[in-house]
Amino acid sequence: MSGGAALVVLLLATSLVTAAVTFVLPEHREAVRNAVNVGGALLKVLLTSLLVFGVFTGAEFEWRVAFLPGADLVLRADPIPLLFVFLSALLWLTTTVYAIGYRAGDGRSSRFFGFFGLCASMAVGIALAGNLVTFLIFYELLTVATYPLVVHGGGQRARLGGRTYVAYATAGGAALLFGTAWLQHLVGSTEFGDPATVTAVATEQPLAMTAVFLVLITGLAVKAVLVPLHGWLPKAMVAPAPVSALLHAVAVVKAGVYGIVRVVHDLYGMALVDELGALTPLAVVATVTIVYGSLRALTRDDLKGRLAYSTVSQLSYIVLGVSVFGLTSTTGGLVHLVHQGIMKVTLFYGAGILDRQLGVTRASQMDGVGRRLPLTMAAFTVAALGMIGFPPTVGFVSKYYLGMGAVEAGQPWVVAVLAISGALNASYFLPLIARAWFRPAGEPADAEVVAEEGDNRVGMTTATSDDAVPPGPAPTRGRWETDRWLLLPTLSTGASVLALGVLAGAPGSPLTWAAFIAEELMQP
């Protein structure tokens, strides 16, 4: 095995080893478990940095092994995969730190962090997959690894959310499997980065190749939460806050939209998808999802439900960017893959702190929380303003490039969609900000209301014992407004929402990275 192949495999193995060690650790070895998981996450960031440096200096990193006739297992580090891997590595580090504070005293932390590590490995496998077969394998394994996290707290609502998630994911996986097998039969190869092979077959069999494309996109649309295949995500919000952050910012939903990006750009190629007439329907579905998700978010009082529908809307910005045939719009879609993750993980971190520290789980309970948890709400506010698209946040950068790209491509109607979405985003985020900072503090959350949310908080019991977790220690504040394990990740990602917006044009920023990838993809 060459050094490049070894580095790719090592990146995948880092979280697998971390998970294996964590599973066998006794519950009382908390310090060791924390050190193993944080150490594994730091090592993943280091290895990813080495891959990024190598790829952009001309090195090649690929591991390949024979699997099926005409279909190898391939892991390959290219600029597009590394954009996703780097996001995953950084946010997995912050989410691991956050989860250590959030799950303290749970009594089931070895199981929790074990599956957490497995999810990290599956996300890396999805990102580095060099062909559709490899992607499919890790895509399905991700469902298996995330299900125990969704149902981690037990209780009726957790089981219902888990069953709904598995039902949707299984149906999407079946469609993706069928499309992969069909494409393999027609083309004989599903390698990413070689659209010429697919194009040659599409010239002779355009209807068949269009049908395959639609099947593949349908399978991916489940995890990408495109309407009407989005119904599992709000129900999966019964999971603990770190898992919600994981689902929305790093792993599951990102796997869906990332898969769409790879199918459109690296498997078929934008020119062929446009020639087959599939870009317009994809843009229409993305537009409907953007508006629908925002409208549903307006109706939700439960905070995590509102954030879930916000994710439904925001993820489709990426799909919309992919659907508009142009360099600038593609840049906007790719960079939003990173920007949305940073903003959304910050919002879920903040929601988790509000829940754990104050028992606040609803928008109507947020009166005055900014005065009680000023640092937490400052990060939450910045991320919410980013979602709306206020400059100079990363959300503004994404929307600016999407809008400019649409105008350049002769599709100004996209600007209207972005304007409508921005107004709707403001309608459901600004009231949260106003309540938090400008209203007097409300009463502590009622135990019955807290119980309805079904989240698995530490250190509090609820009226619904079926959803409760073993009591843990009360949150430790001291000089901090909440546990430092919770606060520091929230502040770091919140600061990134501003810093990466202000420094969007700096060398090595997500925007310059996305622009480089877009130029490579758009070359004839």
SS3 category, 463: coil
pLDDT at position 458 is 37
pLDDT at position 306 is 92
Report, in angstroms and rounded to the nearest whole number, the Rg of the chain calculated over CA atoms.
22
What is the residue-wise DSSP string for 359-409?
A: ---BGGG-TTHHHHSHHHHHHHHHHHHHHHT-TTSHHHHHHHHHHHHHHHT
Query: What is each CA distance from 474 to 112, 309, 481, in whole angstroms?
Result: 20, 31, 13
CA distance 5 to 128: 12
pLDDT at position 234 is 83
Is the bond into 392 cis (omega within 30 degrees of 0)?
A: yes
pLDDT at position 253 is 85
pLDDT at position 508 is 85
Return the exposure string of 375-412: e unless at least 16 CB atoms fall within 10 Å of the residue's CB, then b.
bbbbbbbbbbbbbbbbebbbbbbbbbbbbbbbeebebe
Q: What does the block give as tokens for 215?
A: 């099947």
Q: What's the DSSP call for residue 444?
A: P
pLDDT at position 190 is 87
- The contacts of residue 343 (CB under 8 Å, 6+ apart) are 314, 383, 386, 387, 393, 394, 395, 497
Model confidence pTM above 0.85: yes
Q: Which helix (H) or strand (E) holds 73?
A: strand 71-76
pLDDT at position 17 is 94
Q: Which of 145, 275, 143, 295 is nearest to 219 (CA)?
A: 143
pLDDT at position 105 is 65
CA distance 232 to 246: 15
What residue spans define the domains of the chain? Answer: 278-455+480-524
Q: What does the block give as tokens for 498?
A: 């501003």
Q: Give per-10-residue mean pLDDT for the chain (524 aa).
A: 81 92 89 92 92 85 84 88 88 91 77 89 92 94 89 80 90 95 89 87 92 95 92 79 73 88 91 91 94 93 91 92 89 92 93 91 92 94 96 94 93 93 95 92 50 39 35 49 90 95 91 89 71
pLDDT at position 448 is 39
Return the exposure string of 265-284: e unless at least 16 CB atoms fall within 10 Å of the residue's CB, then b.
bbbbbbebbebbebbeebbe
Query: What is each CA distance from 499 to 471, 492, 493, in whole angstroms?
Result: 38, 10, 10
Query: What is each CA distance from 289 to 146, 274, 315, 319, in whole angstroms?
Result: 24, 21, 9, 10
Amino acid at 278: A
pLDDT at position 84 is 87
Phi/psi of residue 26, nearest 5 degrees: -60, 150
